[in-house]
Amino acid sequence: MIRIITDSTADIPREDIQTLGVRVVPLQVNIDGQMFRDGLDLEPESFYEMLAGAKSLPTTSQPSPEQFLAEFEQAKQAGDEVVCITLSGELSGTLQSAMIAREDAGYAPIHIVDSRNVTLAEQLLVRRACHLAAAGLTAAGIAQDLEAARGRIRLLAIVDTLKYLHKGGRLSGAAALAGGLLGVKPVVGITDGRLGMLGKARGMAGAYVALFKLIEEQGGIDEAEPCFVGYTGSRAQAAPFVRFVTQNLGLEKPPVMPIGTVIGTHAGPGAAGIAFFAKEG
């Protein structure tokens, strides 16, 4: 058998994890001295309420190599092959923890894939891996496919403020300053595994228009592949994305999901985004 393992920043809905048969290694969030396992100990709605009242910005921490090793050892004992998909190695040490664990396990059929992305974009790769495993591909074949496919995945988002990304060390001070003007709403995205500001506009309506233009500039949405919409805090933030996909593009309504606690710590409340495969060629 093939085991698909990922980390909790893929933000796979809890009810889908068992259905997909995915093993999830959690990151952690520390809020005012309380430690929570991402995706396990705290629902997103409760987290954003706590975030709003937190005395200081919560901190996040990567899984230890031992957490991945426990999963790898189980696979080794069962004789299963492994495909492990992590968030971008440019954003977290999670990938490094998985690689250390693979070395400690001393088990060849463990294939680690750096998604070069995070949250819903990472989830697109995880679900693709599950589909390919069900279709009978080997773990090596799945890893090869994912490494080719990840270059077409795009993650674009609007954030209400850049202060969380800046304070969390995920965005430079210069970029935060450029996007911090009064009334300006930043558009951010992942490029080459790194987070950056891709645009900005006056007001939230203008930011959505700017982001929709970016979708086309970055290749457009491949209608043959899934796309996901996510939000932090209020689901209403996702509505313009759904309208754009269904009404402007004439595509099926995309799944809408809350963004989990680790990514929410850095994005802050009031963010919304879309993950999709760009059209080929």
pLDDT tens, position by position, 75-126: 999 999 999 999 999 999 999 999 999 999 999 999 999 999 999 999 999 9
Tell me how far apart the alpha carbons of residues 217 and 211 are, in angstroms, rounded to a whole number. Answer: 10
How far is it, in rounded angstroms, from Cα 28 to Cα 9?
Answer: 10
Summarize pLDDT for 129-172 with one digit per residue, the tens. Answer: 999 999 999 999 999 999 999 999 999 999 887 777 666 555 55
pLDDT, mean of residues 210-231: 96
Q: How far apart are CA 219 and CA 149, in angstroms?
A: 14
User: Are residues 82 and 110 in contact, defined by beta-carbon separation less than 8 angstroms?
Assistant: yes
Tokens standing for residue 251:
């595509």
| Res 179: pLDDT | 47
Predicted pLDDT of residue 171: 52
Task: Give the Å distances, CA to CA, from 242 to 86, 119, 122.
Answer: 27, 18, 20
CB-based burial, 78-103: b 16+ in 10 Å, e otherwise:
eebbbbbbbbbbbbbbbbebbbbbbe
Q: What secondary structure does DSSP assign to 231-250, as a single string? A: ESS-GGGGHHHHHIIIIIS-
Min mean pLDDT across 82-91, 175-184, 237-246, 252-261 is at 175-184
Average the pLDDT over 262-275 and give the result.
Answer: 91
Which pLDDT score is estimated for 182? Answer: 57
Q: Are 108 and 219 in contact, with CB atoms under 8 Å apart?
A: no
User: Environment class of residue 188 by beta-carbon count within 10 Å: exposed (0-12), middle (13-18) or buried (19+)?
Assistant: buried
Structure tokens that stand for 242 in this block: 């759904």
Q: How many CA atoms lie within 13 A of 138 on its CB side?
A: 5
Range scoring the smallest mean pLDDT among 19-33, 166-180, 242-256: 166-180
- pTM for the model: 0.93
Do residues 29 and 59 make contact, with C-beta atoms less than 8 angstroms apart? yes
